[in-house]
Amino acid sequence: MKGIEALIKQNKSFVIYRVPQQEPVLMLQSDGRLLRLKELDELNGKTGFVFAPFQITDSSPLMVMQPDLVIEGWQDISCYLQKAVDEPDYVKPAEVLNDCRKRDDFESYSEAFSSFITSLRENKFEKLVLSRTSVQPKMDSFSLEKVLLEACERYANAFVYIYHTPETGTWLGSTPEILLSGEKEQWNTVALAGTLPYKEAVLPDAWNEKNIREQQLVAHYVKRQLVAFGVTPEENGPFTVKAGELAHLKSEFFFALPEKKRLGSLLSLLHPTPAVCGLPKAEAYRFILENEGYNRRYYSGFMGWMEPEGKTDLYVNLRCMEIGDSCLTLYAGGGLLPHSELEMEWKETEDKLETMLAIVK
């Protein structure tokens, strides 16, 4: 079925997402006039589907969709998509914003790696996350619906989504990392970091010091930011979790939120966590923007439904790709510490890219 492609051709602003253990939801804003915000704080008091970049710019705006159509469950979503194919009301073709992003070879990764590692070894940073892309040709047989269903099936514990607006282009991903989730008095976030291949259904029990330290830095940061927001979290972990063919270390934080109208302010304290950026935060953020050598756009941003007086499910945009006309741009990164080694870090990005590669092959 070509329903999702039809919606994109009609340049509709929509998202289909599936929170783990929940029914999928399709949301569409038919007037296409989504909120475009300049700062995360502007999310305070807002309700809608948020799509936030790593860095807010004119070409990667912070979008909030306020849908006028919401459909739950595969069956009803499929019926709607079928109707979209038949719809004669063709609006205007979607502009191809960025077909193929670059910087996906080992050479440019190793150049960036050496500037990152030099700064780490000079003790300018405790941790830095270096990321890259991998550009893949889009096969004629490529079907967004098939890829989306495959992602939902394979990655039962992930937040899976496809998102399209004229401003952002089309993105699809399957992420294991909660940024902020909850309702009423029960809220939670996580510190997810450290990566090992998950082989033959056996979770690793021996993590090396580098992985433990990487995750610890994220956990300490998350706790600090929550406390700075006036929240006292209960901490659980770290323990090993599975995410596709990978294992990570995860700590969970549970807390009550007295000021639900200030979710945007809490998000600006949390984002970007050292799972995608580094420490110290402001300096690491600047360093990445200046030295990584490409534009992350929405990779390592966050997305999901936000509703201060209802239920919120926001996830970090990892294990994702940008869908162009002829290419797919896949994204992945990994945390570097002063002792990180080039080949091992490259291999880790390859393993992470496999999450998306496995469903588009």
Ligand X SMILES: C=C(O[C@H]1C=CC=C(C(=O)O)[C@@H]1O)C(=O)O
- The token duo for 311 is 């239920």
Number of residues that bind ligand X (CB under 6 A): 17
Residue 333 CB, shortest distance to ligand X, in Å, is 4
Is residue 275 part of the contact set for ligand X (CB under 6 A)? yes
Residues 6+ apart with CB under 8 A from 89: 10
Say which DSSP state 125 is in. -
> Whole-angstrom Cα distance, residue 330 to residue 101?
9
Among 26, 64, 120, 276, binds ligand X (CB under 6 A): 276
Residue with Cβ nearer ligand X (68 or 343): 343
Query: Binding mask 103-132 vs ligand X (x if CB under 6 A, - otherwise)?
Result: --------------------------x-x-
The yes or no reply on residue 279 touching ligand X (CB under 6 A) is no
Q: Which of 101/352 has CB closer to ligand X?
A: 352
CB-based contacts of 312, cutoff 8 Å, min separation 6: 180, 181, 182, 183, 187, 263, 304, 305, 306
Tokens 């992350």 sit on residue: 296
**Token couple for 330:** 């896949």
Per-residue contact flags (x/-) with ligand X for residues 188 to 227, judged by CB under 6 A: ----xxxx--------------------------------
Nearer to ligand X, 194 or 324 (CB): 194
With binding defined as CB under 6 A, does residue 94 bind ligand X? no
Q: What is the DSSP string of 336-353?
A: E-TT--HHHHHHHHHHHH
Which is nearest to 270 in space by CA: 43, 83, 86? 43
Encoded one letter per residue, x for contact with ligand X by CB under 6 A and - for no contact, window 314-343 reads: ----xx------------xxxx--------
Across the beta sheet with 159-165, the strand order is 69-72, 25-29, 13-18, 159-165, 169-175, 320-323, 327-336, 127-137, 278-279
The residues, any chain, with a CB within 8 Å of residue 347's CB and separated by 6 or more, are none
- Give 64 or 128: the residue with its C-beta nearer to ligand X: 128
Q: Which is nearer to ligand X, 218 or 306 (CB)?
A: 218
CA atoms within 13 A on the CB side of 273: 32
Asked if residue 231 binds ligand X (CB under 6 A), the reply is no
Please tell me whether residue 62 binds ligand X under the rule CB under 6 A.
Answer: no
Site residues for ligand X per CB under 6 A: 129, 131, 177, 192-195, 248, 275-276, 318-319, 332-335, 352
